[in-house]
Amino acid sequence: MERLASWAVSFTPVVNIDGGHALLLEIGGSLQLFGGAERMQTLLREGLRARGHEPVISCAPTARGSLWLARAGIECSLLTHDGLRHRLLPVSVEYLGWPAVTLEMLAQTGIRTLGECVRLPRQGFARRFGQARLHELDQAFGRCPELRQAHVVPVHFSDMLELPVETTSVAALLAGFRLLLSRLGERLKSAQMSTDMLCCHLRHPDGSDTQLLIRLRRPAAVATAFAELLRLRLEALVLPAPVTRLLLQARLSAGQEMTGSDLLGRELQADSGLSGLLERLRARLGGHAVRGLALADEYRPERAWHPVGDPLGSGRVVPPKARIPGRRPVWILPEPQLLRQDAGRPVHEGVLRLEQGPERIETGWWDGDDIRRDYYMARNRRGARLWIYQDLRSVADWYLHGIFA
Amino acid sequence: MRIDIPGVECRGSLAAGSMHVPSGFPELDAMLGGGWPGGGLTELLVEPGTAAELALLSPALGRLTCGYGGADPAWVMLIAPPWIPYAPGLCWQGLALSRVLVTDVCRAADVLWATEAALGSGSCAAVIAWAGVASRVALQRLHLLAVKRPVWSVLVRPARFRRDRSPAMMRMQLHLQPGAQDAVRAEIFRHRLRTPGTVTVVLP
Residues 144-203 of B with CB under 8 A from A: 176-180, 182, 184, 203
DSSP for A345-358, please give it: EEESSSBPEEEEEE
DSSP for A366-404, please give it: GGT--EEEEEEEEE-TTS-EEEEEEETTTTSEEEEEEE-
Q: Which residues pair with B153 in a beta bridge?
A: B41, B127
pLDDT in tens, A80-130: 888 888 888 888 888 888 888 888 888 888 888 888 888 888 888 888 888
> Which residue in the set B49, B123, B184 is minimally distant from A274, CB to CB?
B123
| A320:B94 CB<8 A | yes
Q: Which residues pair with B45 in a beta bridge?
A: B157, B173
CA A383 to chain centre: 50
Mention every residue, 6+ apart, whose C-beta is less than 8 A from residue A342.
A351
Rg, chain B, Cα only: 15
Chain A neighbors of B54, CB-CB under 8 A: 330-331, 405
Res. B11 pLDDT band, cuts 50 70 90: very low
Alpha-carbon separation of residue B39 from A252, A287, B120, B152 (angstroms): 41, 30, 12, 7
How far apart CA B169 and CA B6 sit, in angstroms, is 21
Residue A315 has pLDDT above 70, yes or no: no
Residue B85 has pLDDT above 90, yes or no: yes
pLDDT of residue A219: 61
Q: Is B56 on the interface with A (CB under 8 A)?
A: yes
Residue A272 has pLDDT above 70, yes or no: no
Q: Which residues pair with A359 in a beta bridge?
A: A375
Residue B77 has pLDDT above 70, yes or no: yes
Cα dihedral B90, B91, B93, B96 sign: positive
From A381's Cα to the closest Cα of chain B, the distance in A is 6
Report which DSSP code applies to B13. S
pLDDT of residue A100: 84
* Cis amide prior to A358 (ω within 30 degrees): yes
Q: What percent of chain A has pLDDT over 70?
A: 86
CA dihedral B174, B175, B179, B181 (to 10 degrees): 0
pLDDT of residue A72: 86
Average pLDDT, rounded, for chain B: 84
> Which residue in the set B54, B117, B180 is minimally distant from A331, CB to CB?
B54
pLDDT of residue A330: 92
| B83:A317 CB<8 A | no
pLDDT of residue B129: 95
Mention every residue, 6+ apart, whose C-beta is less than 8 A from residue A308.
A291, A292, A293, A294, A314
| B182:A293 CB<8 A | no
Q: What average pLDDT score do residues A378-394 get?
A: 86
* Helix-helix angle A131-140:A63-71, to 10 degrees: 90
Q: What percent of chain A has pLDDT over 90?
A: 5
pLDDT of residue B90: 92
**Amino acid at residue number A168:** T
User: Which pTM was predicted?
Assistant: 0.59
| Three-class secondary structure of residue A202 per DSSP | strand
Res. A42 pLDDT band, cuts 50 70 90: confident
Which superfamily, per CATH, for B27-202? P-loop containing nucleotide triphosphate hydrolases (3.40.50.300)
pLDDT in tens, A179-189: 888 888 777 77
Largest Cα–Cα distance of chain A, in whole Å? 100
pLDDT of residue A47: 84
How far apart CA A280 and CA A285 sit, in angstroms, is 8
How far apart CA B110 and CA A284 sit, in angstroms, is 9
Which chain A residue has its CA at the smallest distance from B64's CA? A317
Residue B154 has pLDDT above 50, yes or no: yes
**∠A79-A81-A86 over CA atoms, to 5°?**
100
Domain ranges of chain B: 27-202
pLDDT of residue A200: 87
Q: What average pLDDT score do residues A71-84 get?
A: 84
Domains of chain A: 2-141 (no CATH), 156-260+267-285 (3.30.1490.100), 291-323 (no CATH), 326-403 (no CATH)
| B103:A384 CB<8 A | no
A157 phi and psi, to 5 degrees? Answer: -115, 135
pLDDT in tens, A358-383: 888 888 777 777 888 899 999 888 77
pLDDT of residue B14: 34
Which chain B residue has its CA at the smallest distance from A379's CA? B178
Q: How many CB atoms lie within 10 A of CB A237?
A: 15
From B50's Cα to the closest Cα of chain A, the distance in A is 7
pLDDT in tens, A219-256: 666 666 677 778 888 888 888 889 999 988 887 776 54
Side-chain-facing half-sphere of B51: CA atoms under 13 Å: 24
Residue A138 has pLDDT above 60, yes or no: yes
How far apart CA B194 and CA B32 sit, in angstroms, is 7
How far apart CA B34 and CA B13 sit, in angstroms, is 15
Mention every residue, 6+ apart, whose C-beta is less than 8 A from residue B163.
none
Res. A151 pLDDT band, cuts 50 70 90: low
Task: Flag whether the ipTM exceeds 0.85.
Answer: yes
**Is-contact A150 A15, C-beta < 8 A?**
yes
**Is-contact B197 B188, C-beta < 8 A?**
yes
Q: What percent of chain B has pLDDT over 70?
A: 89
**Neighbour-count burial of B191, counting CB atoms closer than 10 A to its CB (0-12 exposed, 13-18 middle, 19+ buried):** buried
Q: How many CB atoms lie within 10 A of CB A261?
A: 11
Nearest to B49 by CA among A168, A205, A383: A383
Question: Which of B63, B123, B184, B203 to probe by mutation at the A interface, max A CB count within 10 Å?
Answer: B123
Q: What average pLDDT score do residues A155-177 get?
A: 86
**Is-contact A151 A17, C-beta < 8 A?**
yes
Q: Which residues pair with A385 in a beta bridge?
A: A379
Q: Is B86 on the interface with A (CB under 8 A)?
A: yes
- Conformation bin of residue B80: beta by default, left when phi > 0, alpha when psi is -120 to 50: left
Residues 1-40 of B with CB under 8 A from A: none
How far apart CA A22 and CA A35 sit, in angstroms, is 24
| Three-class secondary structure of residue A170 per DSSP | helix
Residue A162 has pLDDT above 50, yes or no: yes
CA dihedral A182, A187, A193, A195 (to 10 degrees): -50
Of residues A47 and B70, more confidently modeled: A47
A82 phi and psi, to 5 degrees? Answer: -65, -45
Q: What average pLDDT score do residues A279-290 get?
A: 86
Residues 231-290 of A with CB under 8 A from B: 270-271, 273-274, 276-278, 280-281, 284-286, 288-290
